[in-house]
Amino acid sequence: MIDAGERANTKLRLRLRSRLSDALSGAELLPVWFVTALGPMAPSRNASDWMDAATDVLAYRVTHQVNDPVVALGAPPDGRAPRRAAWHEELTRELRRWG
């Protein structure tokens, strides 16, 4: 069961990363929350780290059905979901690096 979850996670991240790459290389407008949190494009230095962070944020939004049009991670989760809260906290720290 854990293996299936890990495979699904890997598949999700690959698809998200691919869609993000397509959006960045095309003429598509990125959502406000994305540009606010990560900027309009990958920086010239640490582009791979930036892409990893962007993919992580996309995975969080998809996994937790975050629909906020402005705030990348949406509202902080309440204390009833410790894994989600830990992920939110980790991503919040990561976004400070790029914002």
pLDDT at residue 36 is higher than 80: yes
Residue 53: partners with Cβ closer than 8 Å, 6 or more residues away: 38, 91, 94, 95, 97, 98
pLDDT at 78: 87
Element (H or E) spanning 30, and its range? none
Local confidence band at 27 (pLDDT 50, 70, 90 cut-offs) = confident
pLDDT at residue 71 is higher than 90: yes
- Domain count for the chain, please give it: 1
In this predicted model, what pLDDT tens digit does every residue of 56-69 receive, in sequence order?
A: 999 999 999 999 99
> Which residue segment(s) compose the domain that 71 sits in?
2-98
Classify residue 73 by its DSSP letter.
T
> Which 3-state string (H, E, C) describes 37-79?
HHCCCCCCCCHHHHHHHHHHHHHHHHHCCCCCCCCCCCCCCCC
Determine the Cα–Cα distance for residues 72 and 57; give it in Å rounded to an integer: 7
pLDDT at residue 24 is higher than 90: no
Element (H or E) spanning 10, and its range? helix 2-25
Percent of the chain with pLDDT over 90: 69
The pTM score is 0.89
